[in-house]
Structure formats: structure tokens, C-alpha cells
Amino acid sequence: VVLCISPWNFPLAIFLGQVTAAVAAGNTVIAKPAEQTSLIAIRAIELWRDAGLPAGVVELTIAPGRIIGEHVVPDLRIQAVMFTGSTETGSWIARKLAERGGEPVPLIAETGGQNCMIVDSTALPEQVVDDVVSSGFQSAGQRCSALRVLFLQEDVADKIIHMIKGAMKELHVGDPSLLSTDVGPVIDQKALTGLTAHVKYLEGKAKLHYECPIPAGEGHFFFAPRLYEIANLAVLQREVFGPVVHIIRFKAEQLDDVIAQINATGYGLTMGVHSRIAEVTAQVAREVKAGNIYVNRNMIGAVVGVQPFGGRGLSGTGPKAGGPFYLTRLIKDNLQVTEAPLAEDKKASLLAASGHDNALQQSLQLAAKAQVDWQKKDITARSSVMRQFLAQLASNAVVVKQEADLAQVLASARGLIGHIEKELAAPIQLPGPTGESNQLHLEARGVVACIRDESACFKYWILSVLTALAAGNAVVAVVEDKDFAEAEAVRKVLLNANLQPALFVVAKLTQLKALISNPLVAAAVIEAGSAVKALTGELIAARDGAISPLVTTPADERLLHRLVTEKTVTINTTAAGGNASLMTMSDNAV
């Protein structure tokens, strides 16, 4: 049974997207639509049943989220959860699911965003204005993908601000049933109160460039679209879910700093960039940690199968809705799992350990830094290191002595490397209209913990290490004291194969709490039958911030997709206005 929790802002599209995916994968569904728009869900299911949906396959539950959280989420019959909503609620669901123990319950969460757009001095101003207005104010700014922060290069900022203000003067706020209306009300009083509080908060912290007029009177939820200017991203403490765009000016040479600011928010849902310099758009698309990148077009209106939608970090877990890996999370990875028992004294010892380790913290920081450059390497370069590693591991005395089935493990590893090379050789080309390019890129998660206790086997552990590294991640290998020498031998072989030292760190199981509690760890991989699986799941779910996965997927071709994140890059190929490469040529170029 899959629990589907959908929002009010797309009461039909997201509701049906979740439910139909779950049903298509062979599940039954408890569907919890938003209270504000539940009539749409009721009618949709009525029509579906008229079309032949069997009784009991989809059951609607119309109730406050708190009731669902208390009574449905903890129910052991719920075997997966699909959720669209706030980051805080998504994290709460992850914790409740982890408290069950056993196999990790799949959670597909699409949460908040601090969506930004970067505009440089080469961008076409008219197109920028059109895309800012549609991305920031359409649907009263109540889309997950809506524009919140507009970075304008200072050379063109005044001109573009003047043009945006002119466009906003033409917006009509009013009854959404009228064709003359451009912007309707926000959803309810709670939303209006929150937006009004944000206006109050910005007093003295921001410059108001323009505020649209709204209908007079009371008893409505109209909120005036506003255009502000702020000094930097730190002014915004959280996502503002409504028709408010915040401008930040930047100098041409500050692009790297702008990208760093955006990534530092921890959010990663949508991102826009307007530039006719290919190197600029390529850098933004490559370096910004967002799920959907839009180049020289608006940032809203993702189409299923064309722009698979979903974020990373504080913005979601993946896999992307409408993407090729969505249904795979709705089927079980492991059908029969026998978990080794964890002795109470061992559990108590692991929990009693310090939650902070200075040496480990330093190693994680170095690993995270090294991982950025490692991910940039071509997959053939990374796989070459892995192949050299496997060749040398075959004759390593320490490993050969401890692992009787090493030859079979190495054969599986070589096959896995071949599969990873094919999967990561090029981005997935997606369909789309003429004049638009859509690609799905698979990128490394970051730092991955590969955990092996005494109940787990060498084969799973080494294949998970290999997959994580080949995918572009850094790895922290966590082992029992008795396996520490073997893990260090593996590390030595990796370094001999030219792996950068910071990319593979060996830690002891006694450091598990300090490691998993650290937000630099983006995912943890552990064999399904491991005795410390449930404990690891609780530790990773207890963290504040991004929802990070505990991965128990078998160490075969399926594992790769759990150790990468998806990024959709959509490019308006008609918007360059000519040969964009000419704009980057020096004066004396031939």
C-alpha cells in the first residue's frame, strides 16, 4: 500500500501523477489530497471508477495532515510514501518511517525551494522580462517552481528593473474566472497572513520597486505581486510562497560567488539562467545543485517525460516525477530479508559514542572538497581508476587471505563497471518541441558512507564502494575493528590506482554516530541483512536539513541510480540571437 500526500497548488496534476504511478507499479493506494482542494480529488476518483478502476485500489482519505501523520504514516501496511509539501513535514515523515526499523520505506518527497534566476548583460531584456513575470507571478507565485530570487548583472539591472515594473503595471489582479485576470488570490488566509508577515519583515531590509494594485474591500485573499531588491540571499530566511520576486545585483566577475550563494542555501529545485554566452549557461547548468535548470526561458511548466521534475537537498529526495526512474522506487528492492540481530549492549555502545569527531569532521570536509573535482572527471577516467584498482586487488595479500570468493567478486565488479560506463557515458536525451533541448544528467550525490558490520559480507561492501566511486562520489568506508586492516589494504590499493587520497576514508563502526549525524554525508549504503541497518536509518533520519537516503538496494545494476541525483537541463535553443560563440571571441581572434 502506497500513501500519496498531494498539495493544493496542483490539485489534479500532482494528485493523479502520484496515484497513477503507484497503481501502475502494482500497488494499492491511500490518497490524501490537500484539504483545500479535496473536491477535485473526489471527482477525479469518481471518474476513474466509472472508467473501470476496481474497488479498493485507491481509497481517498479526507483529513487534516496531522491526523494522517499520527495514524496512517506509522501503519506497517504503508510500504511507500509519496509526498509533496514542506521540507519540515517531509523530514518528519522520514523520521516516523525510520522508527519502524526493518527495510527502509521508500519516501519520494518533493519539498520547498529558493528558486533563483541569473541574468547577465548579454541576455535579451524583453525575453528576461517576459520570463520573470511568468515565472514569478503566474499562479500568484504559488508553484513549487516559481521564481523567488532574481540575480541581475549590475550593468543592465536598472534597465531590466524599469522594464519589469512596466510589465507589472499591466498585470490585473482579480477574479480568476475572468479572462481579463492575470493574477488571482492566494489559496487561503494562512497563506495571506504569511505573505503579509514577509512584507512586514522586509521593512528596512529591502527596497520595494513595485507593488500591483489589488481589488478593494475585505473577505478576499488577494495579495499584491511585489518586486523587491535586497542586498544578498541571507536576507531571505525561508521560501516565500507567493508572488514576490527579490532582486540581487551582482558584478560580472562575481558569477562564481553567486553560484556559491545559491548552493549554500541547501535548496535545489529549479534554476534559471539568461545569457547568450554558452560558457556562462554551461557553467551555471553544471555547477548549480538544482533538479531542473532552465536556460533562456521561463522556469515553470515542467512537462511529464520532457522535463522530469524534482529537486535535491532541502528540495526533495528524487527520483523525479515524470522521469525514467520514478516507478522503480515503487517496487521492492529486497523481497525476502533476514536481518541479523543487534545485541543490546552493542547498540547502547554505538549510541553512547560521541556525536562529533574532530578528525572525522576534517576528513569529511576534505572528502567533500575533493569530490567536486572527482565528479568533473569523465566517466572513462573514473572507471579507468576503478579497473586499475580491481586488477591490483586480485593480488593483494591481505584481501586474498580473508576473502575466499575474491575471484567471483572481482568478476561481478568488472561487469558492474561496464554497466556504469554505459549509463554515465552521456546524458539521457528527452523529447521536446522544436527549438528546445532537454537532457537528463545523472550526478553524484556527494560523500557516501558504505557500512559493513560483522553481519555483512565483503562482496556487497566492495561493490557498493566501487559503484559510489565510479558514480563520482567520495566514500567513507565504515567497518568493524576486525576488518579495519582489510579496509586499509583496500585504501592502499585505491591510492596505488591513482585515486586522490581524500576520496576514500576508512572509519571504524564505533564512529557510526558521529559519521551519520554529519550533514556532509549525503547517503548511507548498507547490506539489507545488516544488524546495524535500523540504527543507521534512525540516525540519518534524525538529522536536520535534507532528507538523505539509507540505501539497501542489491549491489547490482540497480544500485547506481540510488547513488546519483537527477538534473534536467532545458535549453531554449532559439534564444541565442545568432552565433553566441562570437560573443566570447577576443578582438584579435581569427
Q: Determine the straight-line distance between the first and last CA of the chain, rounded to whole angstroms.
A: 65
Report the alpha-carbon distance of residue 269 to residue 310 in Å, rounded.
Answer: 6
Catalytic residue list contains 110: yes
Instruction: Tell me if 288 sits within 8 A of 104, measured CB to CB.
Output: no
b/e sequence 476-504, b meaning 16+ C-beta within 10 Å: bbbbbeebeebbebbbebbeebebbebbb
CA 11 to chain centre: 22
Instruction: Tell me if 318 sits within 8 A of 445, measured CB to CB.
Output: no
In the three-class reduction of DSSP (H, G, I as helix; E, B as strand; rest coil), residue 242 is classed as coil
- C-beta atoms surrounding 467 within 10 Å: 31
Report the alpha-carbon distance of residue 214 to residue 492 in Å, rounded.
Answer: 68
Q: What is the DSSP string of 292-358?
A: EEEESS-S----TTTS-B---GGGB--PPBTSTTTGGGGS-S-SS--PPP--HHHHHHHHHS-S--H
Report the alpha-carbon distance of residue 164 to residue 158 in Å, rounded.
Answer: 10
What Å distances lie between residue 416 and 269, 284, 421, 464, 468, CA to CA? Answer: 31, 31, 9, 10, 11
Name, in order, each residue with C-beta under 8 angstroms of 320's C-beta and a sequence gap of 6 or more.
291, 308, 309, 310, 326, 440, 566, 568
Of 206, 265, 277, nearest in space to 239 by CA: 265
Out of 4, 116, 144, 212, pick the active-site residue.
144
Catalytic residue list contains 212: no
Maximum distance among all Cα pairs of the chain, rounded to whole angstroms? 82
Out of 103, 110, 403, 436, pick the active-site residue.
110
Active centre residues (catalytic): 110, 144
